[in-house]
Amino acid sequence: MKRITYPERHGWRDKAREVGFGFHEMYGEPYWLDDVAYTFTLQEIEEQIEAPSQELHEMCMDLVGDIVTSEEALDHLAIPEELRDLVRDSWERGDRHLYGRFDLAYDGQGPVKLLEYNADTPTSVFETAYFQYNWLIDQIAAGVLPQDADQFNSLQESLVEAFGQFSKEPIFHFAAMTDNEEDRGTTVYLMDCAVQAGHRVELLDIGEIGVDALGRFTDLQDRVIDRCFKLYPWEFMLRENFAPYLPRSGRAFVEPAWKAVLSNKGLLPLLWKRYPNHPNLLPAFFTDDPGASSLSSYVQKPLLSREGENVSIFTNGKELASAPGDYGAEGFVIQEYAPLFESEGGFAVLGSWIVGDRACGLGIREDRSRITANLSRFVPHVILD
């Protein structure tokens, strides 16, 4: 793994604008970097990223059944009691899921380490699947990269294939916070993949979903929502005013309710307990576990948190970095600290994608902070031998 500077593509901002990728800049800062890339060898991708990601996903899937049938585990994950049947039933019924993204620490040496599993919300899917791929073919066409340059990226065709597994009969609704450009763009991209798989689709704001007299979710035309992609985390859904309707009608959503147990930092200690000393896992504990005090360099993470909020890093007992935020009420986990790839660009986290239970793509974000947050930048990658 190396970080290499390249000439940026001529007119790449126009290309971004043409496809509606307006959030290549966010919060007044560049988000997409066109003039730099992370390079890997094929062997490095296959052995250090693809195979471990596949194995980690299988380990997670193997654990879900145990978690959803254990009140103790569900307590630890702060899944509300009245909605545990929803979570359990969705797993036992085998409700179909689409995707997940592992955040991995890798500094070019030794095995990757799992930082967390974003198993419920798809941040950076468009950048990874579409814009990054076009960066590769443009740079090959421009002679900047060799003809045989490659990328770990079959993300879009995997998504189309995965959408194709859902019944075409109901309208596939897509719900998001549509006033947020990035959320909306990400959702419309996935909607596009669904169209390519042959679905009839409709976009609506998550706040526009209604409920009919039978407790079924409805769209703006009062049609019953039978299938709904949502870019909205389960931990929010389980705690909102319409949550009482979820047991009746929550089956409609993709990702399914059982993803609430994977997209939760409480997964990390449960994985470590099941697979102690696995080379791709870091020691992790709930805060009430005596093992938590055995770590001298560790990261404290809220069970439920986004954009790195309320994460703190301690090395040798001293705070190295911390991020403010509004999370943490449900409790924390402690995970051993793993250094990230560090360069003049900052600290890089690997986002390794699973679609349809298969590891199929990589997107890398870097941040000036050790805690990857909302000012992180997306950097394309390329496989060169």
**C-beta of 296: minimal distance to other proteins in Å?**
28
Chain mean position to CA 380: 17
- Report the residue number, 88 or 335, with the smaller CB distance to other proteins: 335
**C-beta of 261: minimal distance to other proteins in Å?**
16
**C-beta of 375: minimal distance to other proteins in Å?**
10
Restricting to residues 184-243, which ones interact with other proteins according to CB under 8 A? 184-186, 188-189, 191-192, 195-198, 200-208, 219-221, 223, 231-233, 236
Q: Does 144 bind other proteins (CB under 8 A)?
A: no
Site string for other proteins, 153-192 (x = CB under 8 A): xxxxx--xx--xx--x-------xxxxxxxxxxx-xx-xx
Q: Does 380 bind other proteins (CB under 8 A)?
A: no
Q: Does 303 bind other proteins (CB under 8 A)?
A: no
Residue where the block lists tokens 């585990």: 73
**C-beta of 324: minimal distance to other proteins in Å?**
14
> Are 247 and 86 in contact, with CB atoms under 8 Å apart?
yes
Q: Which of 5, 25, 42, 169 binds other proteins (CB under 8 A)?
A: 42
- Report the residue number, 88 or 106, with the smaller CB distance to other proteins: 106
**C-beta of 306: minimal distance to other proteins in Å?**
5
**Number of CB atoms found within 10 A of residue 243's CB:** 16
Q: Where is 161: in which H helix or E strand?
A: helix 155-163
**C-beta of 300: minimal distance to other proteins in Å?**
18
Q: Which of 48, 123, 280, 352 binds other proteins (CB under 8 A)?
A: 123
> Are 213 and 245 in contact, with CB atoms under 8 Å apart?
no
Q: Does 260 bind other proteins (CB under 8 A)?
A: no
> Are 260 and 87 in contact, with CB atoms under 8 Å apart?
yes
Q: Does 142 bind other proteins (CB under 8 A)?
A: no
- Rounded Cα–Cα distance for residues 349 and 338 (Å): 11
Q: Does 14 bind other proteins (CB under 8 A)?
A: no
**Number of CB atoms found within 10 A of residue 4's CB:** 10
Q: Does 1 bind other proteins (CB under 8 A)?
A: no
Paired tokens of 288: 């009430």
Distance in angstroms between the alpha carbons of the first and the last residue of the chain: 11
- Rounded Cα–Cα distance for residues 190 and 232 (Å): 14
Q: Where is 61: in which H helix or E strand?
A: helix 51-68
Which neighbouring-strand residues pair with 253?
Answer: 228
Site string for other proteins, 78-117 (x = CB under 8 A): ----------------------------------------
SS3 206: helix
Q: Does 20 bind other proteins (CB under 8 A)?
A: yes
Residue where the block lists tokens 């996903």: 57
Beta strands, E only, 21-112: 25-26, 29-30, 36-40, 99-105
* Total residues at interface with other proteins (CB under 8 A): 75
